[in-house]
Amino acid sequence: MEEQTISPADYFQIIKNRKWALILPALIIFTISVSVALLLPPVYKSISTILIEEQEIPADFVITTVTSYAEQRIQSINQRIMSTTKLLEIINKFNLYADKKNRWSTEEIIEQMRKDLTMELISTEVMDRRTGRPSVATIAFTLSYEGKDSPQKIQRVTNDITSLFLRENLKVRERQTSEASIFLSNEMERVKSDLAKIESVIAQFKETHINELPELIRVNMQSLNNIEQNIDRTNEQLRSLKEKKSSLQSQISGLASTAVNLNKKRLDELKLHLIYLKSRFTNKYPDVVKTQLEIFELEKQIRKSEKSETKKDNLEDNPIYITLASQLAGVTANIKSINRQIIELKNKQEDYKKRIEATPRVEEEFKSLAISQINTRAKYEDLMRKLMEAKVAQGLEKDQKGERFILIDSARLPEKPFKPNRLAIILIGFVLGLGAGIGTAALIEFSDQSAKTPETLTLATSFPVLGSIPEIVTKKDLKRIKKKRIITMIVILACIIAGVAIFHFFVMDINVFWAKLMRKMA
């Protein structure tokens, strides 16, 4: 059987034959969509806008200690507000989701509120001052809350969340600045204690190695050089004194020999004189007796001088001997003194040599301590500078002169519901109804196997159609058809007017109606 082509007239005839199959599904679905649009409760949404304002004091003058960027801080604060404790306080404060408390668990209600709370960042392209290139920066953000409660309650909830967000931001910034100051203060005290310990160790080290410090190396070298020169000079004096001692001893020995020789010569003279006297006088003559006594004394002295090693007994009354003896005693005392000086100088020489030998080791230890002291002092001064900057930054945050959030658009009272979009629901229902009507009519038409035209019957039976009896239309039928057409046109016109009225009342004014109703309920 050949496939029959369908002309536009056939389509028109199908629509005419299946008009109720087309109208009824479309009307039912459209009615359902209108009912849904009218029966869905309105959802109101209130939005507040917060501006992120940069700090008033230039960053070159005051460096803030808040390390997080605005985007990070916003997300962090948002997570704090979205915590179960905070949301549960807000729910209990405003008695939100009262119709769901008996049907939903606390976790489900809190999760629903998280979905109803929305935060959106507002970013724009700005010029980066450091690089000179355009970059995207967050300049503001919005906080919104949507719910099925009254517009006034939605507004109050949004304002409360906004205030909570602003207070939390101030707390975060103040906490960060105060924690930075406390940390730097504690760290500075610890470093100060370390510095005091190092300085105490250095003082004790200097006290222990007072003569071996690196800065005294030149003094020690000069002192050692001076001591060596003093030793040389003292040795020279010692040699000179020893030579003088030898000379004095020689002089004293020569003086003793001279005295003996003089006594012998005198003895010879007295003997000759005694012979002369005896030749003229007797032995009892006074001069003879005197001479004999003198000879006897001289012989006695000569014998004593010959027996004595130093022959001092013969020189005790000699002025020259006395002078030389005193000089010899002085020289001997000087030699002993110089020997003691040489011993002391050599001891000092050894002491300075030990100091100089120990200086490199002491210098290495002292350098290690000095480097540790310098580093610790530099760290302490750096921490002190940073602490002062942190104190200034803390004052900056306390006076709210730093980066801050400013509420530029507070939550307004929503005058119209945010959703549902009743017009969209009705239009979707109309389109779905129209499609359902067309689908139903097409399904019925394609399921109908009856022949409605001679051509269809010829194609179906392969037999020619000899004739057809046309529909006999009387005047009464014409009047009935005309009347039916008029009624149909009136119904269509009434449906159009009713649709326009429904659209105007239920779509344009239903939001106002619900708003008034919610105000009365509130």
Distance between CA atoms of residues 55 and 402, nearest Å: 4
Distance between CA atoms of residues 260 and 253, nearest Å: 11
CB 69 within 8 A of CB 169: no
Residue 322: what residue type? I
The helix/strand/coil state of 124 is: strand
Q: What is the pLDDT of residue 309?
A: 43
CB 379 within 8 A of CB 22: no
Q: What is the pLDDT of residue 125?
A: 74
Distance between CA atoms of residues 223 and 160, nearest Å: 85
Residue 306: what residue type? E
Beta strand 44-53 pairing with 134-147: antiparallel
- 479, with CB counted inside 10 A (0-12, 13-18, 19+), is exposed
Cα 103–chain centre separation: 49
CB 433 within 8 A of CB 34: no
Degrees, nearest 5: CA angle 500-505-506? 100
Residue 339: what residue type? N
CB 506 within 8 A of CB 38: yes
CB 149 within 8 A of CB 44: yes
Residue 32: what residue type? I
Count other C-beta atoms under 10 Å from residue 444's C-beta.
Answer: 15
Instruction: State the number of CA atoms in the 13 A half-sphere of 175 facing the CB.
Output: 8
Nearest CA to 333 out of 441, 264, 244, 429 is that of 244
Q: What is the pLDDT of residue 489?
A: 75
Q: Quick one: tokens of 368?
A: 């290690």
DSSP string over 339-401: HHHHHHHHHHHHHHHHHHHHHHHHHHHHHHHHHHHHHHHHHHHHHHHHHHHHHHHHHHHHTT-
Torsion of CA 60, 61, 66, 70, to 10 degrees: -60
Q: What is the pLDDT of residue 67?
A: 47
Collect all residues with Cβ–Cβ distance below 8 Å to 149 and sequence separation of at least 6: 44, 94, 96, 157, 518
CB 50 within 8 A of CB 166: yes
User: pLDDT tens string for the chain (522 positions)?
Assistant: 444 556 666 666 667 666 777 777 777 887 788 777 777 788 888 899 988 776 655 455 445 544 456 677 788 888 888 888 888 888 888 888 888 888 888 888 889 888 989 888 887 776 666 666 777 777 788 989 988 888 888 889 999 998 888 888 777 777 777 777 787 788 888 888 888 898 888 888 888 877 777 777 788 788 888 888 888 888 888 888 888 878 777 766 665 555 556 666 677 777 777 777 777 777 777 777 787 787 777 777 767 665 554 444 445 555 666 776 777 788 788 888 888 888 888 888 888 888 788 878 887 888 888 888 889 888 888 888 877 877 766 665 665 555 677 788 888 888 888 787 777 888 888 888 888 878 887 787 777 666 666 666 676 676 776 666 666 767 777 787 788 778 767 866 776 666 666 555 554 445 555 555 555 555
Distance between CA atoms of residues 202 and 366, nearest Å: 8
Degrees, nearest 5: CA angle 337-339-343? 115
Instruction: State the number of CA atoms in the 13 A half-sphere of 372 facing the CB.
Output: 17
- Residue 207 sits at φ, ψ, to 5 deg, of -65, -40
Cis peptide before 414 (omega within 30 of 0): no
The number of residues in the chain equals: 522
pTM above 0.85, yes or no: no
Q: What is the pLDDT of residue 1?
A: 41
Distance between CA atoms of residues 395 and 68, nearest Å: 18
Q: What is the pLDDT of residue 507?
A: 47
